Structure 1
Amino acid sequence: MRRLLCLFALIILSLTPATALAQSAFDTRASHAVILNHETGDMLFSKNGDTPMPPASMSKLMTALMVFEALEDGRLTLETTLPVSENAWRRGGAASGSSTMFLEVNSRAAVGDLIRGIIVQSGNDACIVVAEALGGTEENFAQMMTERAHELGLDSANFANSTGWPDPEHRISALDLARLARHIVTDYPQYYDIYAESEFTYNGIRQFNRNPLLGVFEGADGLKTGHTEESGYGLVASAERDGERRIVVFNGMESNRDRADEAERLMRAAFSEFSTVDLVAAGDGLGRAEVYLGLEPSVELRTSEALSFGLHRRDRDGVTAELVYEGPLHAPVQEGDIVGRLDVTLPDGRELSVPVEAAQSVARKGALGRAGAAFARLIRGG
């Protein structure tokens, strides 16, 4: 860490501009991928992580969250039974050729069972049942999902249904899926354990959790797979080791086997090859800037906010930083005035920025001093 910070101090103080992007030392065959540090929320790795994608059944995380919230505010209990409409049975049942809980038409199912049907069995019929119960129609429920996602800051989300069934309007980014998973882990621990259940039997039909990391990767305990022809094979996964938790999201794999292999590789790397770098703290000095017509010739610059980011251990030498401001500054300058920014570019393409402020106040020269400065500038040809 000391070597990295010294490297940045040299770059910042000499105002060396950012060089052309280096290639990240880490990559994945997935079309979209994100690794998130659960504790800090820092993104450790991203490949098209901000780009909306078809999430398939991974969007059932949002469907389940809507049920968790209904349980929390008393609209539902785990014992509440909900009706299975013909629409839910026909569109989400075995006849549809999709993942199903095997609910019977015109029956009623307990919410506790439906949650497991959604999480463990990935049942489309279970999703439609809760959608119709909470939203009146699945279309209305999908709009509720979208609105709630935006309230949570998941701005890329747009849900067209409750199941992840292919639809050109049904999209969310890998990063927002990771943030959604983090929200579930943090705010709903009483239900999160369900994601680690390896199987669930309903109506005498036993089905197994499709998460390829459960029972294979130590500490893995969630969350949700997804697959359609359009999206490929994807996964939202979480694991905890030695008090640290990582969330991995990826999509676009070509087969179930490829998904399983990449899930283990990405999660292993998440713990062993990535860490959070605390580059600057709020108030760190960055050097001095000239002040025109000031009683002092220059003013110290400092960061107004902390800046940290996740980084692969072999990417440290590929990070570039640039202190950007329009100089010289013009007096008067007040302490705390935002006068520029520190731009940081990471090898995987991420661009981060933190405001830069004046560390002291610098008063403006009087009339005689300003005249002298103007004359000196004229003599210099400025």
Structure 2
Amino acid sequence: MNTKRLYILPLAFAFAIAATSLFPSPAALAAPHAKSAAPKKHPAAAPAAAPAAGQTAVAGGAPALAARSWLLMDFDSGEVLASSNPDEPLPPASLTKMMTSYLVEQALRSGKLKKEDLVTVSQNAWCRGSGTESCMYLPLNAQATVIDILRGIIIQSGNDASKAIAEHMAGSEEGFAKLMNAEAKRLGMTHTNFVNATGLPDPAHKASARDLAILARAIIRDSTEYYPIYSEREFKYNNIKQGNRNALLYTDPTVDGLKTGHTDEAGYCLVTSSKRNGMRLITVILNTSSAQARADQTRALLGWGFSNFEKATPIQPNAVVGTAKVSFGKAETVGAGLGTPWTVTVPRGQPVQTSVQLKPDLEAPVTKGAVIGKVVASSNGKPVGEAPLVAQADVERSGLMLLAWQHVTKWFGK
């Protein structure tokens, strides 16, 4: 099925795609993302659905994208700004490797792994170089450092790298999948089930667009030391140079990640992050018809998002927005305000309203900076974010005589 492109792709994009052909070996050029080497038992899945507009708070609606599922998320708040079919579990192909790389990054952060640790390439992990799957081209029974493996997963989308690190960390790919699912549950990915570390097709291996955006947000937030790898355009290992398949890295300087994916079952998929003028947006495109279509649609969604949303500051950091009653303290009240600067992302030009919720049963002692409530921001009747409110001063507990009197007056309701 042919899909209508949202607009003509700039000539620079065509040059960028052509340039990537200078990087891989002939075998790598032929390799689809996570395509199984086994003969096909069924015909390829149908291309993406016809263009359909998504849900959004913006007047006039969201763009129509020819993808089975798509989503636009604000990074700072995690708020979904627009989406279509965001919770359907779909084959994620090599987008799976975002969870594989995330687990590696967190193990590096915690010290469970070190960058120079050596990972052995087993017979099971080894890619034979047949051109039927994405490979880092690690030699059989050789060893590679964890940091090279990580680059091989992110940039080269190596199935061999993903399997090797899975076996290194969990003893087997099956054991690693259990770690993946545990982490997915911790992050709140409620429509995801991982069976392997690569994204190779399996009927039980699924993820939703919303879940993949949650994962992308976690990578950007938690893996600050390693996140720049997601924007690297090429990586050379074993004398084979391969280019990053995320075409937007070559044409849009505001894009700095994250991952592409493709199998016959999954179609062409892309998770992207872009930061412009202090606002970062995350996009997910699932099951579209071609590598160019996933780039076109991502570019269109980012352009629409940055044009239709803006950052707003509902409350200034030093403002006292409420007064909480304090029982059994030397002071009867304490001011409530923000502990850190707070912004929300709202439809451009729409006013923001706030409502304050303070703890009703606050008792002394209260420490300055302690959370004593929250403030909720809404726009056009829809919540767009919330932030904790903290005590603006210490409140000491009353002395014995005053404390006794306060207990008596509280008892009689005076």
Identity across the alignment (%): 43
* Aligned counterparts, 1:1-382, within 5 A: 24-89=61-126, 92-95=127-130, 97-275=132-310
Q: Are the aligned partners of 1:274 and 1:311 in contact in 2 as well (CA < 8 Å)? A: yes
Cα distance in 2 for residues equivalent to 1:266 and 1:26: 7
Cα distance in 2 for residues equivalent to 1:138 and 1:117: 17
Cα distance in 1 for residues equivalent to 2:62 and 2:71: 15
* C-alpha RMSD of the superposition: 3.5
Q: Are the aligned partners of 1:45 and 1:310 in contact in 2 as well (CA < 8 Å)? A: no
Cα distance in 2 for residues equivalent to 1:193 and 1:263: 20
Instruction: Give the superposition deviation at 1:239.
Output: 0.9
Tell me the number of residue pairs that the alignment of Structure 1 and Structure 2 aligns.
Answer: 287
Unaligned runs of 5+ residues in structure 1 are: 1-21, 280-307, 317-334, 337-343, 355-382
Instruction: Give the superposition deviation at 1:208.
Output: 0.2
Unaligned runs of 5+ residues in structure 2 are: 1-58, 315-342, 351-359, 362-377, 387-414
Instruction: Give the superposition deviation at 1:23.
Output: 8.3
Amino acid at match of 2:67: A
| Length-normalised TM-score, structure 2 | 0.62
Describe the superposition over 1:118-168 as per-residue Cα deviations: whole angstroms up to 9, x where unpaired.
000000000000000111110111111011110111121210100000111
Q: Are the aligned partners of 1:158 and 1:170 in contact in 2 as well (CA < 8 Å)? A: yes
SS at match of 2:124: helix
Flag the 1:98–1:236 CA change in 2: closer, same or farther, 3 A: same
Question: Of the two structures, which has the highest relative contact order with CA contacts closer than 8 Å and spacing of 6 or more?
Answer: 1
Flag the 1:252–1:148 CA change in 2: closer, same or farther, 3 A: same
SS at match of 1:46: strand
Describe the superposition over 1:43-83 as per-residue Cα deviations: whole angstroms up to 9, x where unpaired.
11111112211110011000001101111222211100110
Flag the 1:58–1:274 CA change in 2: closer, same or farther, 3 A: same
Larger Rg: 1
Flag the 1:33–1:311 CA change in 2: closer, same or farther, 3 A: farther
Q: Which has the higher helix share?
A: 1
Q: Are the aligned partners of 1:25 and 1:312 in contact in 2 as well (CA < 8 Å)? A: no
Q: Are the aligned partners of 2:106 and 2:223 in contact in 1 as well (CA < 8 Å)? A: no
| Length-normalised TM-score, structure 1 | 0.67
Q: Are the aligned partners of 1:102 and 1:202 in contact in 2 as well (CA < 8 Å)? A: yes
| Superposed structure 1 runs of 4+ greater than 4 Å apart | 275-279, 308-314
